Amino acid sequence: MKIVIGSDHTGFNYKSRLIELVKSMGHAILDIGTNSCQSVDYPDFGEKGARAVACGKADIGILICGTGIGMDMVANKIKGIRTAVSKVHTQYPVSTV
């Protein structure tokens, strides 16, 4: 399965660890950024991730931001995409495409 993973600056560290875990499970990763903890705008990454799933570049997506709600709202605006905000065991918010 090919999984697109993206985050804003608040989710960068979690995204980096998650990528290693998902790769160890045998899945292909499309990392759409961000690539540092430097402040960025979450909508840029939410839209990019949702569009990757909508056009078939990835089977599913995981989008990470401070609360999960921002990524959820952005991704749900893309035709054919439906998301849900999920909480993982460490209580980091995660929005899954």
Give catalytic residues, as residue numbers.
65
- Measured between alpha carbons, how far apart are the two ends of the chain, in Å? 14
